[in-house]
Amino acid sequence: MALIEGNSIRSTCRMTGVAKGTVLTLLADLGEVCAAYHDEHVRWLTTKRISADEIWSFCGCKMKNASDEQAAQGWGDVWTWTALDDDSKLMVSYLVGQRGAWWANEFLKDVASRVSNRIQLTTDGHHVYVNAVENAFGAEVDYAMLIKLYGNPAQPDTRYSPGECIGIETRVVMGDPNPKHISTSYVERANLSIRTHLRRFTRLSLGHSKKLANHAHMFAIYVMFYNYCRRHQTLRVSPAIEAGLSHHLWSIEELVSLRDKRSMLHGLLKSA
């Protein structure tokens, strides 16, 4: 619970008295289980509207400070692609990687594989989306881009403050999307929740990931927590319940028990 409420590995160890190695082992084991559970069960969705975005973080150090050797080990900038059902607020798909065209294709192919009907899709203006959406959905999608236009920041020395948003442009790319639902507000709000809950995404701190694999494991755990365990303040239920994937609000103990069930299954297979 501590890891998904904004605490780093070391602060979790101090709070619980558990050794760092034990926490990291649990992180890796549970992360693999959560990723597998999401991949298997978050499918055949009948969502109508999905919005997608990318959220930046880094592993080890920022890309500009990473040596070639460090970059080869996964250090540098990390982009996490997220797709959200605008109605149920379910995190439909995610991918931890880079921001190029190959990653966009893999991400949107995964999104397309999880829905069973035609959807309306909204993304920001990142140019790699256009071909990736066509490759993933063909013509069976109503797709639009929402492009925010920014002016220069009022104070040029404020490095971490974005420029003022001076306008919004919507661009229909394919199909017939409803103009009322061309929005990335929900997925951007979900990304804010990610930065709030995961220390690895907090800027100007020492909580960033030191290993890319652990970064991916932690995000997989968070997605399961967000979809199944966390009561959405607007919906009053979890996104998984709203989407028809669960009949009850999961407890943290139930989430962690997925790891124990996998260990038990492996033990039965070995003894067979």
User: What would the pLDDT profile of 157-207 be if each residue is shown by its tens digit?
Assistant: 556 666 777 788 999 999 999 999 999 999 999 999 999 999 999 888 888
Strand 76-85 and strand 49-59: the pairing is: antiparallel
- pLDDT of 269 strictly over 50: no
Which amino acid, one-letter code, is at 205? S
Q: How does 137-175 read in b/e, with b if 16+ C-beta sit within 10 Å? A: beeebbbbbbeeeeeeeeeeeeeeeeeeeeeeeeeebbb
Q: What is the mean pLDDT of the chain?
A: 91
pLDDT greater than 50 at residue 268: no
Helices (H) and strands (E) in the chain, counts: 9, 6
Provide the pLDDT confidence category of residue 260 given band limits of 50, 70 and 90.
confident
